[in-house]
Structure 1
Amino acid sequence: MTHDHDLELRPTEAQTEAALNPPPGRNGGDLVVETLAGLGATTVFGLPGQHALGMFDALRRSSLRYVGLRVENNAGFAADAYGRITGEAAPLLLSTGPGALTSLAALQEAASASAPVLAISSQIPTAGLGGGRHGYLHELPDQSASFRGVVKSVHTVRSQSQIPSAIAEAWRSALTAPHGPVWVEIPQDVLLAQTSLPVVTAPDATPEELVPRVELTAVAADLLSRALRPAIIAGGGVVRADASGKLRRLAEKLDAPVVTTFGGKGAFPWEHPLSLQSWLEDRHMTDLLEDADVLLVVGSGLGELSSNYHTFKPRGRVIQIEADLGKLESNHPALGIHADARLALQALLETVSERTDGTAPERVRDVLARIGDRIAGQELSLEQDVLASVRRALPAGSPSFWDMTILAYWAWSAFDPRGANTMHSAQGAGGLGYGFPAALGAAAADPTRPVLAVSGDGGALYSIAELATAKQYGLPVTWLIVDDGGYGILREYMTDAFGEPTATELTRPDYVALAESFGVPGVRTSPETLEADLAKALAAPGPSVVVLPAVLRMFAPTHLG
């Protein structure tokens, strides 16, 4: 018996001819790049290495654009940002052993921030796998075991025929909510061997949709419709699901104030009458959220930073929409809805009743005024002026990438991102060195707009080699380095805890001269001239460095009461 769908699997004569007569000179690496191109990839990041040369040789014969960085971890950060900006799985090509392991911190950040990165690593030859011969260069006893606790899924290849399916399955995994990094490894001999397999065309790797359960959204809609003081916490899941428009409509329908987490910056308009902005490290904000009789948490696990260091104790009902099953109700009891934020918000929009209480904007203005008064009493005008200068200099549609530095900590709470998916930082895993290489990845994704990277002088030293990458590819990234002579935030933490800091002071280079030695324009600025210098650098083509010598302070914590 013949079914209609069977007929669709029959190749055309042209397809049969192409399959039976593949072009000569191809190897296993060609199967990798052909699969990536067939899945829709256009750009790959990485570094070559001895065992991975088959993949890199195949790039020469492909239409894929290669962006090579100088350190594997930085290549991982660049792929992370490319994935965040485009919503596509960003291929990251790595070599065995040391090259692979050097990417681990970047993959941890991608996992924490749910960034879709498709890491493809070489392996030692198959003869050495599974207890065979030992003593290969770069050999690890079990390379994939080093990544299992970090990435979303691991896919191993042992023959050329497995390559297309393994990469397609990894692609699907990376792009199924929650997004995340995935790991594929392919032995050196499999990559190098000539292949007579047909050219890979268009493998099917459509991500699975994570649809909310109807009975749960019905209960959530009823709770929200009857709430007297509803409030919303919007996390990074809203941004990744491209659901900020639905969030805004739901908030307006419910007359509910919205605070965005540091990972959810831009999920809700900063100047909206219902916007509580992002002042999560403030007791006034914590009090308002605790007072909500129904609290809707969308796309956040309410982790350490989002819960004001776990001092947040909600008194009302909590509804949590979360794509990551492990984060669902992990920190607070809730009506847990395991779903993609976009689909769940749409379900709520269709079922909630409109509330016309009208008091929410007044409560928003009151709490923001209280926070403003508290900050104003701490003599922090330098910090506020610097952040305001950055905001004025950065074009509204330009993305910014922030390292773990004091100005970034300020930006988490106080920076208006002016749109969803425009402000990103390493607050997922909290590793140093993210800002500049991530900005390079974003610029590779969209070179039509300037990109801002912000680092401290300590974090800058992690990724200084990537000035060569920026120059080589002419990427429009302006790198603001706030030079305070060391690890500024650790200096503050240690001084507060122990009375004086240890291991925080750094000898560092002349960053302007160093940038110029790479052929990248550099300028030393001041708080007074920062806005003009930064705006000029952002308007110029290609990369640039702006160095601001300044010692900034954090605002006092208020999670202690």
Structure 2
Amino acid sequence: MSHDHDIELRPTEAQTRAALDPPSGRTGGDLVVETLHGLGATTVFGLPGQHALALFDAVRRSSLAYVGLRVENNAAFAADGYGRVTGEAAPLLLSTGPGALTSLSALQEAAASSSPVLAICSQVPAAGLGGGRHGYLHELRDQQGSVRDIVKSVHVVRAASQIPSAIAAAWESALSAPHGPVWVEIPQDVLAAETLLPEVNAPDALPEPLVPRPELTALAADWLAHAERPVVLAGGGVVRADAAGKLRALAEHLDLPVVTTYGGKGAFPWEHPLSGQSWMEDRHTTDFLADADVLLVVGSGLGELSSHYHSLAPRGRVIQIEADLGKLEANHRALGIHADARPALQALLETAPPREDPEAPARVAELLRKVRARLDAQDLSLERELLTTIRAALPDDSPSFWDMTILGYWAWAGFDPRGPGTMHTAQGAGGLGLAFPAALGAAVADPTRPVLAVTGDGGAMYSLAELATARQHGLPVTWLVVDDGGYGILREYLTGAYGEAVGTELSRPDFVALAESFGVPALTTTATDLGKDLAEALESGEPRVVVLRERLRMFGES
């Protein structure tokens, strides 16, 4: 047997000297920090807790920047925001029991939106594991079981020597297509015990590329090249794979109209002649997709929102490129290609011969004319003007984060993101509270760009504590709170379904006075002054709150 390709395993002289004489006083917590540093992490998010003290002490003595939030759920949202804008795994440090459980709804959003959050959680001492026998504070009977159905993978540590490998495996899992949150669990005594192990060198945790099978892309390329009315539906997988450029090249190579899902916002230029934009909850868009003789779905599982509540019924062939094997053909029969979007689109681009369709831009223009006519008939000028105003005030390269609020629902469909990876929403899992803490995470990643967060007054109540975080770290996030006195979208849903709303009207604070009590400048604006006030806040380079008191409406089906 030949060993010509064996890798070099002999340590260097410097590595040998360091291994034989490690610094004293190091703990399991230091092994965590050293591994993260070796993997390329520069920043960690979280909250300290009793069982995680040694881990936080190790962070204190390291070069890692620590961003502490006030609630674990918000810390997880902040890590999510950091992961979305950087594409890097975002370490999240949590403590046992209540701290772990409080993070779960944010980790559900990270999972649904394929965001690479690396949660590292403490556990009771190893001797107390296995069913509540010892009665430790914060103890859960099965902590990892509480998260297993949410995160992508769980990595359990029971000895210090397991720490580097477990964290490296989790890191690779988080960044393998499809991205997602992962969980590492380490007992308190393992974190706190002194270790004689050498300092951790940079581990190898590069994910393997998920490439398509060539016979499948050959068939898909042939279908597209010979189609009469092909259409592309581009999802969030295109953005996460950094494949927007490949998608545009393929669309122009084959004259393919492109519609983007809500998760795929920014995957294709909004004003391109082939852009059908992203009016997914519009019957004209649904008909346009269904009428394609070849529908190429890239980076989407065709779930509820991406299929207009499962009303999409394609009449032609469907090609589905999807990195998540469980979503491949889960909702529609298709030529399923299990691959990341970037190599799959590259394969189609290299394989398909050019195709010319001079009528394609006209078909797209007719679709958008129908969408505009439907909106014109509903007297929704205020809502449409607000999106235009916000777009004009926000710099093109600034990230925006939108909560589950009526204006956020409008933005899903009608906001021009001006580029991939600049618009982020909570539509993966649909929970309240993502926008402001996730925007803080994005600002940590790049404090030179202003970031916008948009919430309603109901969703704002989930995140108020993080005004302290914004002020403490001086993060340039402008928080637009649309205050309509309640849960506006639920008010509409309940009234539409049952004729009357219940539980939606809220007593809320004076958001301006509240923000100022945290040392965050704030003001109340109007629809007329919003553009000026928002631009000034975004240009300030500091946290700001802008409150708009308006009662908005959603667009209807017809």
Q: Same fold (TM over 0.5)?
A: yes
Of residues 461-470 and 130-139 in structure 1, the stretch that sits farther from structure 2 once superposed is 130-139
The reply to whether residue 441 of structure 1 matches residue 441 of structure 2 is yes
| C-alpha contact 2:132 2:140 (8 A) present in aligned 1 | no
CA, structure 1 residues 312+28, in 2 after alignment: closer, same or farther (shift >3 Å)? same
Check conservation: 1:127, 1:133, Cα contact below 8 A. Answer: no
Tell me the residue number matched to 1:538: 538
Deviations 1:72-125 (A, max 9, x none): 000001101111111110000000000000000011000000000100000000
Are the equivalent residues in 1 in contact too, given 2:131–2:142 (CA < 8 A)? no
For 2:387 and 2:325, how far apart are their aligned partners in 1? Answer: 36
Distance 1:6 1:551 in 2: 67
The answer to whether the aligner puts 1:222 opposite 2:222 as a matched pair is yes
Quote the residue 2:420 is aligned against: 420
Relative distance call for 1:483 and 1:60 in structure 2 (3 A) is same
Aligned to 2:188: 188
The question of 1:511 aligning with 2:547 is answered no
Q: CA deviation at 1:544?
A: 0.4
Q: Cα deviation per residue 1:48-80 (whole Å; 9 max; x = unaligned)?
A: 000001110001111111111000000001101
Tell me the amino acid that sits aligned with residue 503 of structure 1.
G
For 1:471-490, list aligned pairs within 5 A: 471-490=471-490
2:5 & 2:371 partners in 1: Cα distance? 62
User: Is the partner of 1:320 in helix, strand or coil?
Assistant: strand
Q: Describe the SS at the equivalent of 1:110.
A: helix
Alignment-derived partner of residue 327 in structure 1: 327
Query: 1:134 Cα deviation (Å)?
Result: 2.3
Alignment of 1:83-94 (within 5 A): 83-94=83-94
Task: State the partner residue of 1:236.
Answer: 236
2: CA distance, partners of 1:425 / 1:23: 45
Counterpart residue number, 2:358: 358
What code does the residue aligned with 1:481 have? V
Q: Deviation per CA, 1:411-443, whole angstroms, max 9, x where unpaired?
A: 011000000000000000000000000000000
Q: 1:132 to 1:513 in 2, by over 3 A?
A: closer
Q: Could you tell me how far apart the structure 2 residues matched to 1:301 and 1:340 are?
A: 13
Query: Counterpart in 2 of 1:466?
Result: 466
* Residues in 2 aligned to 1:453 and 1:225: alpha-carbon distance in whole angstroms: 42
Residues 363-378 of structure 1 mapped to structure 2, 5 A cutoff: 363-378=363-378
Task: Identify the residue that residue 137 of structure 1 maps to in structure 2.
Answer: 137
Helix, strand or coil: the match of 2:306?
A: coil
CA distance in 1 between partners of 2:362 and 2:131 (Å): 68
CA 1:308–1:19 in structure 2 vs 1: closer, same or farther (change >3 Å)? same
Deviation at residue 498 of structure 1 after TM alignment: 1.0
Aligned to 1:53: 53
Following TM superposition, by how much is the alpha carbon of 1:457 offset from its aligned partner in structure 2, in angstroms? 0.1
Secondary structure in 2 matching 1:55: helix
Take 1:120 and 1:412, find their aligned partners in 2: how far apart are those partners? 32
Q: Deviations for 1:528-547, whole angstroms, at most 9, x for unmatched residues?
A: 00000000000002100000
Shift of residue 8, structure 1, vs aligned partner: 2.0
1:14 CA displacement: 1.7
| CA shift for structure 1 position 557 | 2.6
- Alignment correspondent of 1:380: 380
**Is the Cα–Cα contact under 8 Å of residues 132 and 139 in structure 2 kept in the other structure?**
no
Matches within 5 A, 1:107-146: 107-131=107-131, 133-146=133-146
Q: Which residue of 1 aligns with 2:252?
A: 252
How far apart, in 2, do the equivalents of 1:136 and 1:22 lie? 33
Checking the alignment, whether the CA contact within 8 Å between 1:172 and 1:206 is kept in structure 2 is: yes
Task: Tell me which stretches of 4 or more aligned residues in structure 1 moved more than 3 Å.
Answer: 1-7
Residue 41 of structure 2: aligned partner: 41
Amino acid at match of 2:263: G
Query: Structure 2 counterpart of 1:105, which letter?
Result: S
Partners of 1:230 and 1:254 within 8 A in 2: no
> For the residues of structure 1 that align with 2:44 and 2:557, how far apart are their CA atoms?
42
Q: Secondary structure of the residue that 1:263 maps to in structure 2?
A: coil
1:209, distance to aligned residue in structure 2 (A): 1.1
Match of 1:301 in 2: 301
The alpha-carbon deviation at position 354 of structure 1 amounts to 1.1
What is the deviation of 1:201?
1.4
In structure 1, the partner of 2:15 is: 15
**In structure 2, what is the Cα distance between the partners aligned to 1:4 and 1:467?**
58
Q: Using the alignment, how far apart are the partners of 2:60 and 2:195 within structure 1?
A: 16
Gap change, CA 1:311 and 1:6, over 3 Å in 2: closer
Instruction: Kindly provide the CA deviation profile for residues 492-541 of structure 1, in whole angstroms up to 9, marking residues without a partner as x.
Output: 01111111100000010000010000000001000000000000000002
**Unaligned stretches of 5+ residues in structure 2:** none
State whether structure 2 residue 109 is matched by structure 1 residue 105: no
Q: How does 1:21-32 map to 2 (within 5 A)?
A: 21-32=21-32
> Kindly tell me: are residues 380 and 2 of structure 1, through their superposed partners in 2, closer, same or farther at Cα, counting changes over 3 Å?
closer
Task: Give the letter for the 2:186 counterpart.
Answer: I
**Range with bigger deviation, 396-405 or 383-392:** 383-392
State the Cα distance separating 1:6 from its structure 2 match.
Answer: 5.8
CA distance in 1, matches of 2:379, 2:78: 37
Letter in 2 for 1:483: D
Query: What amino acid is the match of 1:536?
Result: E
Length-normalised TM-score, structure 2: 0.99
Structure 2 contact 405–455 (Cα < 8 Å) conserved:
yes
RMSD: 1.1
Give, in whole Å, the separation in 2 of the partners of 1:285 and 1:458.
31
